Structure 1
Amino acid sequence: MNVQTNRLYFIDAMRAWAILMMLQGHFIDGLMDPVYRDTGNAAFNIWLYFRGITAPVFFTVSGFIFTYLLIRVPQKGFENPRVAKGVRRGLQLLLIGYLLRLNLFGLFKGQVYNAFYLVDVLHCIGLSILVLIGIYLITSKRKPYLFPTLLLGITLGLFLFEPVYKQWSFSFLPNALANYFTKANGSVFTIIPWLGYATLGGFVSVLFTRFKDFKHLYAAGIPLAAAVGYVLIYHSSSAFASLHGFTGWEFFGLIPLNNYLFIRLGNVFIVFAVFMLLRRFLTNRTILNIGASTLSIYVIHFIILYGSFTGLGLYRFFNHSLTPQIVIPGAILFMVVCTYLALKYNQHEAEIKSQIAWALASVKRQAIEVKEASIPMLRELSIRVRLVLRRFLRTVRG
């Protein structure tokens, strides 16, 4: 594949891989009996390792794709059409994130459960897109190197100081806002540190855009990504320990105690290297369509697995109760069903949306007709009530 093409197919393939890994990961993690979580089992450890890679890859690829589309157009600042589209997309993801946690039965009873305010993947990606737009607008009329420098700086800042701010309770904020920064109330993801992967993806996309005409981009990029990944995975902890001994700064000493952010970042670079290496074999239309349908797949999987709106999902009936013999083929079937439904939805998206719009308009018309028909009845009822009251008052006075 030539770099000059508008679409980087290996990125779509990475996104497809990440969403499928997310589906099976959520299914197995939520439904398999904990008694089978044996860290002495090699197969389970491999699954657990790849489950840990999924979210960092997904966030990084999301930041890469959005930034790549944002900066490749000639317009700058607010004149860039991708800015308005990005704002709509970010707000849409936030809205869908909240809607998926809405329970209609509770709403009918006048209750909004605490789970509605918890923050998940869509919230963080939506907010990350808005942050990327903000950084882009701030730097759009300044030196061209400032945008990628800020992106990389945010990633390093969030990852380096994670041992410090993860201890903060954010109790001074309302829970609905605090949930974006702390998992104390049950949030699955938080904007810090996960924004760091999105900004790193944005930084890498800037490099791809700047060197798009470089003849040996992939020949140089693949070994570079693999080398950076190797160093981060196997040597970042010892490097931070050495920095702690050299500087005496406490936060450097805290990082090696739980160095998951930089190690997972190394995994992301390795995944980039692998997919770039295999890029010529990743042009299958179905794979690319899956990569372009991640939002639909995510929404459908959330409804089926966690029971959005009704609470009647697989998680409610089979929570941590299945054996590997059932949960593994079940996860494969779950991936196939969610992907098939999402691709079918995207294929008929315009028709489905028009039908929904027609149904809503029909309900609205019927509501107006009922209201208009009831006005004469209410007037007649009002007249009768006034007559009855007058007769009653006359009787009382007489």
Structure 2
Amino acid sequence: MDSKSNRLYFIDAMRAWAILMMLQGHFIDGLLDPVFRDLSNPVYNIWLYFRGITAPVFFTVSGFIFTYLLIRGTQKGWDNPRVAKGIRRGLQLLLIGYLLRLNLFGLFKGQLYHAFYLVDVLHCIGLSILALIGIYLFSVSKKRYVFPTLLIGITLLLFLFEPLYKQWSFSFLPEFLANYFTKANGSVFTIIPWLGYTTLGAFISVLFTRHKDYKYLYPAAISIALAVGYLLIYQSSRFFDFMYGWTDIELFKLILSNNYLFIRLGNVFMVFVVFMVLRRFMTNKTVLAIGASTLSIYVIHFILLYGSFTGLGLHRFFNRSLVPSVAIPGAILFMVACTFLALRYNKYETQIKGTIASAINMVKFQWNDLREASIPALRELIIRARLFLRRFLRTVRG
């Protein structure tokens, strides 16, 4: 820990880096012309590699931060205020995830389009937070080793058996629930295996918290992370090849054919190493503010890029049509714009929410007044309609 504070600045910096990488990754992936997606181009390959490690880092850091806040206090179980806050946060992320996929024009027609039911980053992080709370509550009264053991155990189980369950269609579930487990219907992320990165982050957080007073915490953490990262990136495939040759278990062969989860996990450890080494330079206020504003940044980027609510986003007008000379500066400008808007929103969040609440209340009052004023008028209209109908019938009958 930094001597000045219990705050882990390098984690905030990691989160800031991950959200900015996510912004440019989504922008370029969605708008760059396929002609320029050349795997033989080293620049494109480097970009693709770093884009691939963004989501694992983001999920891992999210699990780390939430668990660090959850377990650092003295109150345990349901008495821990972070439990209630975490439940609200998890449900909030699920709600925002669905709202961002809502199309108002379809809603006015009485329709919820297919995209509304698809699962994305916010859904998975929200559900992961709820899962971490469940694991915490289950293990809080048990031995100290139970909580971290469950966390790392879930990570290993989800990663090891991914080749098997990724083939399942989960057709026995309603589609909106199946979307949390399979990409077959179009979901971008699924709770499995991505929960595994979140529980890994939570596991690392437990280790940091329990050894926070160790004099050589960072040298030890950097050494361990460097070793684990190297082994996962460069030796995990060799390990699974050995295990398959030794046991002839088909699962190891399936993992070997697409060993992306463990390799990406190694990348995450390497990112931890870089940010821990440079932690002394991670106290810039703007960087920390960006790290604390990831939800606002994500929401704003989703609205601007994918056109939440209206369908009128950049993706609609420039879908896979930009050349690199436009896409690259465009991505930089997009990152700056989303970050600026998010930071401005966070600065005036209280005033903005107050204004919105006042507007909603004003609409409610006006609607109530209109409804109350309309009731007598409506009654009068009904009485006159009845009188007219009676006179008309008398006239017809002669």
Could you say which residue in structure 2 is the equivalent of 1:275?
Answer: 275
Which residue of structure 1 lines up, in the alignment, with residue 82 of structure 2?
Answer: 82
Q: Is the 8 A contact 1:229 1:266 kept in 2?
A: yes
Identity of aligned residues (%): 76
- What displacement does 1:109 show? 1.1
Q: Is this contact kept in 2: 1:106–1:112, CA < 8 A?
A: yes
Q: In structure 2, the residue corresponding to 1:58 is in which secondary structure? A: helix
Shift of the alpha carbon at 1:253?
1.4
**1:322-337 matches, cutoff 5 A:** 322-337=322-337
Deviation at 1:395, TM superposition (A): 4.7
Aligned partner of residue 312 in structure 1, secondary structure: coil
Supply the distance in 1 between the matched residues of 2:6 and 2:87 (Cα, whole angstroms): 22
Per-residue Cα deviation, 1:11-69 (whole angstroms, up to 9, x for no partner) = 00000000000000000111000111111111111101000000000000000000000
CA distance in 1, matches of 2:158, 2:147: 17
TM-score by length of 1: 0.98
- Compute the displacement of 1:4 (Å): 7.4
Q: Give the conservation status (yes or no) of the 8 Å contact 1:3–1:213.
A: no
Shift of the alpha carbon at 1:289? 0.2
1:345 aligns with 2:358: no
Deviation at 1:188, TM superposition (A): 0.4
SS at match of 1:208: helix
Q: Residues of 2 paired with 1:293 and 1:396: CA distance? A: 73
Structure 1 counterpart of 2:373: 373
**1:109 lines up with 2:117 in the alignment:** no
Which residue of structure 2 lines up, in the alignment, with residue 252 of structure 1? 252
Aligned to 1:223: 223
- One-letter amino acid matched to 2:382: S
Are 1:166 and 2:166 counterparts?
Answer: yes
One-letter amino acid matched to 1:74: T
Per-residue CA deviations over 1:133-155 (Å, capped at 9, x if unaligned) read: 00001111111110110000000
* Structure 1 Cα separation of the partners of residues 41 and 378 of structure 2: 73
Letter in 2 for 1:88: R
| Inter-partner Cα distance in structure 2 for 1:184 and 1:4 | 49
Matched with 1:299 is: 299
Partners in 2 of 1:283 and 1:179 — Cα distance? Answer: 39
Match of 2:17 in 1: 17
1:132 partnered with 2:166: no
Q: Deviations for 1:314-355, whole angstroms, at most 9, x for unmatched residues?
A: 001110100000000000000000000000000000000000
Give unpaired runs (5+ residues) of structure 2.
none
CA distance in 2, matches of 1:334, 1:171: 39
| Counterpart AA for 1:389 | L
Structure 1, residues 105-163: CA drift from partner, whole Å, max 9, x if none?
A: 11111111000000000000000000000000111111111011000000000000000
Deviation at 1:396, TM superposition (A): 5.7
Shift of 1:397: 6.0
**Could you say which residue in structure 2 is the equivalent of 1:37?**
37
Residue 207, structure 1, aligned to residue 241, structure 2: no
- Note if 1:56 corresponds to 2:70: no
**5+ residue gaps, structure 1:** none
Corresponding letter in the other structure for 2:234? Y
Amino acid at match of 1:175: E
Amino acid at match of 2:173: L
* Partner-residue secondary structure (3-state), 1:167: coil
Q: Give distance in 2, aligned partners of 1:71 and 1:381.
A: 65
The residue identity in structure 2 corresponding to 1:32 is: L
Aligned length: 398
Deviation at 1:387, TM superposition (A): 1.9
CA distance in 2, matches of 1:46, 1:235: 21
CA-CA distance at 1:392 after TM superposition: 4.1
Amino acid at match of 1:330: G
* In structure 2, C-alpha distance between the alignment counterparts of 1:210 and 1:4, rounded to whole Å: 18
Structure 1 SS opposite 2:214: coil
Q: Which amino acid aligns with 2:116?
A: F
Q: Name 1:7's counterpart in structure 2.
A: 7
Deviation at 1:381, TM superposition (A): 1.0
Separation in 1, partners of 2:3, 2:251: 41
Where has structure 1 moved over 6 Å in runs of 4 or more? none
TM-score by length of 2: 0.98
Counterpart for residue 68 of structure 2: 68
Q: Read off the aligned partner of 1:307 and give its amino acid letter.
A: G
1:391 is displaced (CA, Å) by 3.1
> Aligned ranges for residues 182-201 of structure 1 at < 5 Å?
182-201=182-201
Q: Is the 8 A contact 1:4 1:213 kept in 2?
A: no
